[in-house]
Amino acid sequence: MTKTHPLPDLIQRFFSQRLQVQRQLSPATIASYRDTLRLLLHYVQAQTKRPPCQQVLQDWDAPRILKFLDQLETQRGNAPRTRNLRLTAIHTFMNFVAQQAPETLAHTAQVLAIPMKRFERPLLGYLSRQEMQAILAAPATATLSGQRDRLLLELMYNTGARVSEIAALNREDIQVQPERLIQLRGKGRKQRVVPLWKSTANHLKHWLAQNPSPVHSPLFTNRFGQRLSRFGITYRLQCAATQAADNCPSLKGRAVSPHLIRHTTAMHLLQAGNDITVIALWLGHESPATTHQYLELDLALKEQCLKKLAPPTVKGHRFKPADRLLDYLERL
């Protein structure tokens, strides 16, 4: 009789031992793994009528995992990138199971053999300076929420920070004197310091003085006094972009996201003549190779590159078929 391996014990040890103690992953990464396994538990429950606490490893076989991944795309509307992220979490769990219970190698190997899905990487694009200025001017600064949104958007453009980095900012991360800078906590708990424009620092100084709170409190909060979430930041940005479209027609119908602002900062730094390695440090990339994939030169810069290359002087010759049949085929 084949030995069964209850999932509750394996999952608990996976999170408490492997992720938290051995690898010491960040809370955000652990939450992503948690969400994936929770979705899979619910899916298997719907398929087998077995509650999560009674499921066994054999319920998570390769065919069912594949159906689960297909369901993420077809029913939940997940993009291939999100599907791959879920599969990465499942692969990590199966690797852990294979080490804890070697007798499951045949089972785990089939799941680990499920490949990542390839997908196209469309150009994200970026905003022009006029479009960015229109978005920054959109919030009504007569209200407290409008002042917050204006400062929020200005800080995103100034730093090129990820939306998660902006959401995680606390008051203690801001320094306006003697130097104007902000400390960001990026992926993998990496920290970096980014300088601020004088105007941004002055607006931050005014905001901190107008809204006194403990130094460990969030820099940006919602109307309930809670930390403004990534989704809240995205929503406020989209509201500003919609308002800005009235004065800037090129923004109409355009999807404006926090990542687009980050890309805009990078492109504007590149257009200002900054080296790609400096931009990589500014964005918090581990390697300039990541920045090379992240950035796409605009047409003006491409034309400047082309001007430095002299065109060939060899004259071309038009091909003339010597046979009527070849001439007929050529004209098809």
174-175, strands of its sheet edge to edge: 174-175, 181-185, 191-195
Which of 18, 185, 203, 285 does the annotation list as catalytic? 285
DSSP state of 226: S
SS3 letters across 57-114: HHHCCHHHHHHHHHHHHHCCCCCHHHHHHHHHHHHHHHHHHHHHCHHHHHHHHHHHCC
- 226-229: long-range contacts, CB 8 A cutoff, minimum separation 24: 227/167, 228/152, 228/167, 229/167
Q: Which of 81, 129, 189, 259 is catalytic?
A: 259
Q: Would you call 328 a catalytic residue per the annotation? A: no
Strand partners, 175: 181
Task: Work out whether strand 191-195 and strand 174-175 pair parallel, antiparallel, or are unpaired.
Answer: unpaired
Q: Which of 83, 162, 203, 263 is catalytic?
A: 162
Annotated active-site residue 50? The verdict is: no
187 is catalytic: yes
Question: How many angstroms separate the Cα of 292 from the Cα of each of 123, 267, 286, 296?
Answer: 13, 11, 12, 8
Task: Please indicate whether residue 216 is annotated as part of the active site.
Answer: no
Catalytic residue among 187, 192, 205, 268: 187
Tell me, yes or no, if 268 is annotated catalytic. Answer: no
Q: Which of 18, 107, 203, 262 is catalytic?
A: 262
* Residue 323, Cβ density class (10 Å: 0-12 exposed, 13-18 middle, ≥19 buried): exposed
Q: Is 121 a catalytic residue?
A: no
Active site members: 162, 187, 259, 262, 285, 294
